[in-house]
């Protein structure tokens, strides 16, 4: 299964990311994203209530937690797709509170979605080209004069071909994105996000629904982002993937950050075991709890 | 016996009539809204009414020249698009449909109400606004001229030439926009606006631009529409929007020439069935009255459109491949 896939080469882990003890909300040496007091409630339910969290620059950070922990909501808040009730957060020193999603993206913080959003009836190449920012021809009046944008469009196309080749989608460039498989769409979405040359890439469950044959290359691609100097923050349920590629792990449960640390020590934390196993200890184990048990076993096995 | 020659030549006249051009242009505006951007605008009749009344009122009440009246109509539709778009473009597609249909009805009822009868002519509408346009006509001949079934007066030819020139320019304009990166963003929004937003595009602004552009095309269509007839508020009922949607789907929603071909086919079919039914009633083939026959032609056109949509759902000019992926 997908969880047995490993990157083709042993990843180089980033170390010494934090200052002091690896506690929830601990300071990082060089944070790229800092969130303070971010809270989002839906009626009586507090989906996200994060006091303080810092994302280290140039590393791969995993955001994990049981179902319903508020990971995707936190993602939406950070990227401007949802508005928090309170809180502030900065990206590279710039405050992002009340900044609309498209401006956040232009600053270099690009996200992907849990349910892949490939633009079905656009060709793969058009999907890619749409990812490039600062296009002259995207202004309605300049669009009428191809002289103004053709050269830039060709440069964008060349960059798109390069990325598609890297993601092994170049043979599909003229097909509709709708004709791609689920895994290929994940790859396309990631490649499209890279067209804007982001500094922070946020991937929401990049492995969900991906065929095992593709997980391998997805892992390599994520490691490749780090090699190119990008910061990666991803949400994932696949613990093997977290263990293999993450430099830092942030654990959320019931909207809060309950633990932080490197992937091997964070799992020893009683708060994490509580988050995954303890929250419904007096009720029947439903299927999602069984999944969590499975996830914990995998993690503990790894440290043997 | 039925005079088939007459039936066919009457149908052929519709091929290049100004009304066909007006419907084609309004449908092209909807192609921008619905076909390319995915905006479910059900208020195209409202944009057309603003064009018709904007033009006629400017000339009759304020004595504007032709170009001034055209600008007033365009300005009115830009303002209408802004009023419509500011609160609604953040809504989901189906809400936009409800709001636009209501807005178009409000426009029509404002033009119908007796309160403004001095300016709008209320239910009787407006006429006598054509002199300025006719004065620009470079063609001068007596009686009718033309070829085959297309025999028109100098004034009629002038309307036909101007209206189809406008349609051709609008097609060219739309084509050059849709092949540009701007058009690519619109098509992206049609597929998934959140994805486009995540790529750093100001989706709201693009939707507004699309709404304004398609609305202005609807407004120009409204001005062409009133050249061969008077301005009557009843023309701008919701059914007008639905006829234009039928034309758009007939031709192909995300195509440039689809609206033109769809409009030609729609009007030729309508004229053909209308001529055929009227004569069939005359010679006693159909056991119905002339009035009933007038309704029957819409039934027959409806059946023809249903057949085309069932057996060629992408429209006449649409891309068959797109349908392979429609859920």
- A124 to chain B: which residues are within 8 Å by CB? none
- Give me the sign of the Cα torsion angle B89, B93, B95, B98: positive
Residues in chain B: 327
- Can you give the three-state secondary structure of chain A, one letter per residue? CHHHCCCCCCCCCCCCCECCCCCCCCCECCEEEEEEEEEEEECCEEEEEEEEEEEECCCEEEEECCCCCCHHHHHHHHCCCCCCCEEEEEECCEECCCCCHHHHHHCCEEECCCCCCCCCCCEHHHHHHHHCCCCHHHCHHHHCCHHHHHHHHHHHHHHHHHHHHHCCCHHHCCCEHHHCCHHHHHHHHHHHHHCCCCCEEEEECCCCCCCHHHHHHHHHHHHHHHHCCCEEEEECCCHHHHHHHCCEEEEEECCEEEEEECHHHHCCCHHHHHHHHHCCCCCCCCHHHHHHHHHHHHHHHHCC
Write phi, then psi, for B290 (nearest 5 degrees).
-60, -40
Q: Which of B184, B212, B325 to mutate to test the interface with A (most CBs of A within 10 A)?
A: B184
- Give me the sign of the Cα torsion angle B85, B90, B93, B96: negative
- Give me the sign of the Cα torsion angle B93, B94, B95, B99: positive
pLDDT at A4 > cutoff 70: no
pLDDT recorded at residue A295: 66
A160 contacts A195 by C-beta, under 8 angstroms = yes
Mean pLDDT for chain A overall? 85
CB count in 10 Å sphere of residue B323: 12
pLDDT-based confidence at A301, cuts 50/70/90? low
pLDDT-based confidence at B326, cuts 50/70/90? low
From A135, which residue of chain B is nearest by alpha-carbon distance?
B181
Q: Do A130 and B196 touch (CB under 8 A)?
A: yes
- B213 to chain A: which residues are within 8 Å by CB? 140
B199 touches A: beta carbon within 8 Å: yes
A window 9-68, beta carbon within 8 A of B: none
pLDDT at B280 > cutoff 90: no
pLDDT at A30 > cutoff 70: yes
SS3 call for B29: helix
Which strands sit side by side in the sheet containing A31-42, from one edge to the other?
Answer: A45-56, A31-42, A86-91, A94-95
B window 166-195, beta carbon within 8 A of A: 173, 176-177, 180-185, 187-188, 190-192, 194-195
- Min Cα distance B219 → chain A (Å) is 20
Instruction: Give how far the C-alpha of residue A202 lies from the chain's centroid of Cα atoms, to the nearest Å.
Output: 3
pLDDT tens per residue, range B42-70 = 999 999 999 999 999 999 999 999 999 99
pLDDT-based confidence at A304, cuts 50/70/90? very low
Mean pLDDT for chain B overall? 91
Q: Do A143 and B176 touch (CB under 8 A)?
A: yes
Q: Do A122 and B185 touch (CB under 8 A)?
A: no
Q: What is the mean pLDDT of residues A198-215?
A: 85
pLDDT recorded at residue A114: 86
pLDDT recorded at residue B142: 87
CATH number, domain at B57?
Answer: 1.10.3470
Query: What is the percentage of chain B residues whose pLDDT exceeds 90?
Result: 66
pLDDT tens per residue, range B95-143 = 888 999 999 999 999 999 999 999 998 889 999 999 999 999 998 888 8
pLDDT recorded at residue A43: 87
A111 touches B: beta carbon within 8 Å: yes
pLDDT recorded at residue B198: 93
- Per the structure block, which two tokens stand in for A226? 């780090």
- A153 to chain B: which residues are within 8 Å by CB? 181
pLDDT at A222 > cutoff 80: yes
Residue of higher predicted confidence among A210 and A81: A81
Q: Give me the domain span that covers residue B197.
A: 4-323
Q: Which of B173, B197, B200 sits opposite A133 (nearest CB)?
A: B200
Instruction: Considering the domain delimited by A2-118+198-302, tell me its CATH architecture.
Output: 3-Layer(aba) Sandwich (3.40)
Q: Do B182 and A143 touch (CB under 8 A)?
A: yes
Residue of higher predicted confidence among A14 and B51: B51
- Min Cα distance A159 → chain B (Å) is 16
pLDDT recorded at residue A263: 87
pLDDT-based confidence at A2, cuts 50/70/90? very low
Q: Which of B174, B185, B199 to mutate to test the interface with A (most CBs of A within 10 A)?
A: B199
Stretch(es) of chain A classified as CATH 3.40.50.300: 2-118+198-302
Q: Do A143 and B194 touch (CB under 8 A)?
A: no
SS3 call for B192: coil
A149 touches B: beta carbon within 8 Å: yes
A119 contacts A100 by C-beta, under 8 angstroms = no
pLDDT at B162 > cutoff 90: yes
| Separation in Å, CA B37 to CA B22, B32, B85, B188 | 22, 6, 14, 8
C-alpha closest to that of A269 among A37, A23, A77, A40: A23
- Can you give the three-state secondary structure of B193-243, one letter per residue? HHHHHHCCCCHHHHHHHHHHHHHHHHHHHHHHHCCCCCECHHHHCHHHHHH
Those residues whose C-beta lies under 8 Å from the C-beta of residue B274, and which sit 6 or more positions away, are B294, B297
pLDDT recorded at residue B310: 86
pLDDT at A278 > cutoff 70: no
From B186, which residue of chain A is nearest by alpha-carbon distance?
A138
Q: Do A144 and B176 touch (CB under 8 A)?
A: yes
- Residue for token digits 């486009």? B196
A148 touches B: beta carbon within 8 Å: no
Q: What is the mean pLDDT of residues A146-158?
A: 94
Write phi, then psi, for A131 (nearest 5 degrees).
-70, -25
Q: What angle do CA B96, B101, B102 make, to 5 degrees?
A: 100
What is the domain count for chain B?
1
From A82, which residue of chain B is nearest by alpha-carbon distance?
B194
Those residues whose C-beta lies under 8 Å from the C-beta of residue A44, and which sit 6 or more positions away, are none
Distance from C-alpha of A304 to C-alpha of A223, rounded to nearest angstrom:
25
A-to-B residue pairs, Cβ atoms closer than 8 angstroms = 109
Distance from C-alpha of A180 to C-alpha of A162, rounded to nearest angstrom:
19
A131 touches B: beta carbon within 8 Å: yes
- Per the structure block, which two tokens stand in for A37? 């007091």
- A121 to chain B: which residues are within 8 Å by CB? 187, 190-191, 322, 325
Residues in chain A: 304
pLDDT at A286 > cutoff 60: no
- Min Cα distance A24 → chain B (Å) is 29
Q: Do A105 and B198 touch (CB under 8 A)?
A: yes
pLDDT recorded at residue B256: 94
Query: What is the percentage of chain A residues whose pLDDT exceeds 70?
Result: 88
Q: What is the CA radius of gyration of chain A?
A: 20
B323 touches A: beta carbon within 8 Å: no
ipTM for this prediction: 0.86
Residue of higher predicted confidence among B215 and A304: B215
Q: Do A149 and B181 touch (CB under 8 A)?
A: yes
pLDDT tens per residue, range B173-211 = 999 999 999 999 999 999 999 999 999 999 999 999 999
| Separation in Å, CA B247 to CA A119, A150, A301, B52, B123 | 26, 34, 65, 20, 27
pLDDT recorded at residue A1: 39
From B199, which residue of chain A is nearest by alpha-carbon distance?
A131
Residue of higher predicted confidence among B296 and B22: B22
Write phi, then psi, for B145 (nearest 5 degrees).
-145, 165
């Amino acid at each position: 299964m997908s969880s047995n896939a490993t990157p083709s080469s042993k990843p180089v882990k980033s170390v010494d990311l934090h200052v002091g003890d690896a506690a929830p909300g601990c300071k990082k040496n060089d944070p790229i994203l800092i969130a303070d007091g971010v809270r989002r409630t839906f009626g009586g339910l507090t989906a996200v209530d994060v006091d303080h969290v810092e994302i280290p620059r140039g590393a791969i950070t995993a955001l994990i937690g049981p179902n319903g922990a508020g990971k995707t909501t936190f993602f939406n808040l950070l990227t401007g797709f949802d508005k928090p009730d309170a809180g502030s957060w900065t990206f590279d020193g710039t405050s992002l509170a009340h900044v609309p999603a498209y401006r956040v993206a232009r600053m270099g913080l690009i996200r992907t979605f849990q349910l892949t959003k490939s633009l079905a009836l656009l060709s793969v190449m058009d999907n890619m080209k749409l990812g490039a920012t600062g296009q002259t021809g995207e202004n309605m009046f300049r669009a009428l004069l191809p002289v103004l944008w053709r050269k830039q469009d060709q440069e964008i196309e060349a960059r798109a071909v390069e990325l598609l080749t890297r993601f092994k989608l170049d043979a599909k460039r003229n097909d509709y994105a709708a004709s791609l498989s689920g895994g290929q769409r994940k790859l396309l979405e990631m490649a499209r996000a890279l067209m804007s040359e982001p500094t922070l890439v946020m991937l929401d469950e990049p492995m969900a629904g991906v065929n095992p044959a593709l997980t391998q290359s997805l892992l390599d691609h994520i490691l490749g982002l780090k090699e190119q100097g990008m910061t990666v923050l991803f949400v994932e349920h696949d613990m093997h993937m977290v263990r293999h590629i993450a430099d830092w792990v942030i654990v959320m449960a019931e909207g809060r950050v309950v633990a932080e640390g490197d992937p091997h020590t964070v799992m020893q934390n009683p708060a994490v075991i509580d988050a995954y196993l303890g929250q419904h200890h007096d009720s029947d184990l439903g299927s999602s709890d069984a999944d969590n048990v499975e996830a914990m076993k995998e993690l503990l096995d790894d440290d043997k | 016996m039925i005079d088939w020659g007459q039936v066919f030549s009457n149908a052929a006249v519709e091929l290049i009539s100004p009304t066909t051009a007006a419907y084609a242009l309004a449908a092209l505006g909807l192609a921008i809204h619905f076909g390319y951007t995915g905006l479910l605008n059900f208020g195209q009749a409202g944009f057309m009414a603003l064009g018709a009344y904007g033009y006629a009122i400017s000339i009759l009440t304020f004595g504007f020249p032709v170009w001034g009246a055209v600008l007033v109509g365009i300005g009115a539709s830009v303002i209408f698009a802004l009023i419509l778009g500011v609160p609604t473009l953040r809504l989901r597609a189906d809400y936009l449909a409800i709001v636009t249909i209501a807005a178009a009805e409000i426009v029509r009822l404002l033009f119908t109400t007796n309160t403004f009868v001095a300016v709008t002519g209320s239910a009787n509408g407006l006429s006598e606004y054509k002199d300025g346009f006719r004065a620009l006509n470079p063609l001068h001949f007596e009686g009718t001229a033309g070829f085959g079934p297309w025999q028109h007066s100098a004034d009629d030819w002038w309307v036909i030439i101007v209206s189809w020139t406008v349609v051709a320019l609008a097609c060219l304009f739309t084509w050059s926009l849709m092949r540009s990166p701007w058009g690519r963003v619109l098509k992206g929004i049609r597929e998934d606006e959140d994805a486009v937003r995540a790529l750093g595009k100001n989706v709201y602004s693009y939707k507004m631009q699309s709404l304004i552009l398609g609305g202005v095309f609807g407004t120009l269509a409204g001005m062409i529409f009133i050249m061969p007839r008077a301005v009557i508020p009843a023309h701008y009922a919701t059914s007008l929007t639905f006829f234009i949607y039928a034309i758009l789907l007939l031709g192909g929603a995300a195509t440039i020439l689809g609206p033109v071909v769809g409009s030609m086919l729609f009007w030729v079919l309508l004229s053909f069935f209308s001529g055929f039914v009227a004569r069939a009633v005359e010679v006693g083939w159909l056991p119905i009255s002339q009035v009933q026959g007038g309704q029957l032609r819409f039934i027959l056109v409806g059946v023809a459109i249903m057949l085309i949509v069932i057996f060629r759902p992408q429209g006449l000019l649409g891309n068959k491949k797109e349908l392979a992926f429609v859920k």
